[in-house]
Amino acid sequence: MSAQAATVASVARRGYLNGWTDDELVARQVVKLAEELGELASTVETDDPQLAWIMAELQIAGKKARALFDVPGLFVGATVHSAAATYELTDCQVVIDVAAHALGIPDIGYAAQVKAEKDVGRGVRNGQA
């Protein structure tokens, strides 16, 4: 099983995949990605005002995304342009891989798999999947 498949299986065991169409699930994961990007932005320190501004904006967006992720009804009926989404998601993965390299993480896919497996015991946030 690939690291990606194992990660998805762990997320599924938490109940996060239940009840969503594929398009709704992608829309929800875009919001989750915004939440995580905001948290990642909070780790960047800079004296440059432009870079500080974008990092602050990403953190604000991430906090909004965290709140929206926990409102399941928002995603019902969402549609995704699959070909374009696949292209953009691949771009996201390239960025993640390069950042992982810069941080000295040799295999970010495996690291994600390990984290997802550990998170199974936590269940879902706020009792909602």
- For the stretch 5-53, pLDDT in tens is 999 999 999 999 999 999 999 999 999 999 999 999 999 999 999 999 9
Query: Could you read off the pLDDT of 80-126 as tens digits, one per residue?
Result: 999 999 999 999 999 999 999 999 999 999 999 999 999 998 766 65
Q: How many helices (H) and strands (E) does the chain have?
A: 5, 0
CA–CA gap between residue 15 and residue 21 (Å, rounded): 14
CA angle 31, 67, 115 (to 5 degrees): 60
pLDDT at 54: 99
Cβ neighbours of 36 (radius 10 Å): 13
Strand positions, DSSP E, the chain:
none
Cβ neighbours of 54 (radius 10 Å): 13
